[in-house]
Amino acid sequence: MKKTISLENLVNDPGCLSEYDPNAMKIEVARKYIHNFLKANTKTEYVNTEDALNRILGETIISKINVPNYNNSAMDGFAFNLDSLKEKNTLEIATTILAGNLSKHKIKPGFAAQVMTGSKIPNGTDTVLPFELVKQENDSIVVSKLPTKGANIRKLGEDIKKNGDVLKKGVFLRPAEVGLIASIGISKIKVFKKIKVSFFSTGDEVVKAGQPIKSGQVYDSNHFTIQSMLKRINVECVDLGIIPDDKKLIEKTFKNAAKVSDAIITTGGVSVGKADFMKDVLKKLGKVLFWKLSIKPGRPMAYGAFKATPYFGLPGNPVAAMITFYQLVQPALKYLMGQDNYKLPMLLKAKCVAPISKRPGRMEFQRGFFTSKNGELSVKPTPHQGSAILSSMSKANCLIVLDIDQKSIKVDDYVNIQLMEGLV
């Protein structure tokens, strides 16, 4: 009989699904499993439109008005009836209509109104010509070349139609969307409540910046990268500090985290050797899977749940922690936050200007620096690619994404790159 895919089944019997290979799980499979056990945020709140940046829309917005809500001029120039130019090429200037003048004007054939960008198009006219294209002689204008009818007029509703959908529920609000909402006169909108994400670092050797450090210790960089990545996606961070490799303390911290947050992230303690230790603690508290992902860096990772709170156990190595966050955790958090259709930045082709040695069997996310010349992208891997070399992340502006089956790359081969700008 076919077993249902539940987190419990997987934890108790990791081999119960053919795709599940604890020795090397493909990243796409890991993404799928993670997604299966997530429940998207449904809690909403109202915020002022000016505070809506980087929030996720909690309702579909329908416009009550047309935008623009009147036919208006796209240029500083003259408005007239095109047909009246058929007989003679001169028009008399009847009046000037500034933007913001709400009066109803009527212009007779043979006459033109001086208009500004955003001015109402007066009745009786259907075309606008900019000042530069007409010759002004006293109170008249001379038009030497006939424009097309309707030229330089912005039509009622051409941006947004009355009663039309403006933005769909689940959209991430960038500056353009915030402006768009304001453009239909809405000053308060429903957004999904921010989710709370708890995070802590583990490791006896890990020390907080600002403290003295001894030989054999390492400053906690993961804490700061994880927190910064969380801040970029606008979640509420619950900082639970550095927890030494102590079962009791870790257990206490997990229990606390599950109570106060919508997701938990830890770094360290999930690699071989340490994994058994974390496994003991986590088995007692929830359902947790330990994965060996077929990616580099970021092979060890844990995923699970404490009651309904999803848990992401990231590797301790700083680059591996960042890569697994971007590739696996960020999409999951976006879904939890209520965002629809979050996509990782698309892959672009770039010519590799240095060789890269690679064996098939693992997907690699190498740190790279790309440049663009004459519209063509080139990329060079940063010199040190170790998963502990955090400066390789800082020196990079892209990830070179090498497929699982890909072999070594020669100079001038094309590779896929993922821009870091889009990731954050």
Write down the least CB distance from residue 257 to ligand AMP, Å: 16
Nearer Cβ to Mg ion, position 313 or 338? 313
Residue 279 touching ligand AMP (CB under 6 A)? no
Residue 207 touching ligand AMP (CB under 6 A)? no
- Residues 50-109 close enough to bind ligand AMP by CB under 6 A: none
Give the x/- contact pattern for ligand AMP in 158-197, rule: CB under 6 A.
----------------------------------------
Write down the least CB distance from residue 387 to ligand AMP, Å: 8
Q: What is the largest CA-CA distance in the chain?
A: 94
Residue 268 touching Mg ion (CB under 5 A)? yes
Residue 170 touching Mg ion (CB under 5 A)? no
* Region from 265-273, 280-288, 349-357, 374-382 binding Mg ion, contact rule CB under 5 A: 265-273
The interface partner of residue 267, options being Mg ion, ligand AMP, none and the CB cut-off 5 to 8 Å by kind, is ligand AMP
Residue 318 touching ligand AMP (CB under 6 A)? yes
Nearer Cβ to Mg ion, position 170 or 316? 316
Residue 267 touching ligand AMP (CB under 6 A)? yes
Q: Which of 58, 286, 315, 338 binds ligand AMP (CB under 6 A)?
A: 315
Q: How far apart are CA 173 and CA 171, in angstroms?
A: 6
Q: Which of 122, 203, 298, 318 binds Mg ion (CB under 5 A)?
A: 203
Binding site for ligand AMP (CB under 6 A): 201, 203, 205-206, 218, 220-223, 267-271, 274, 315-318
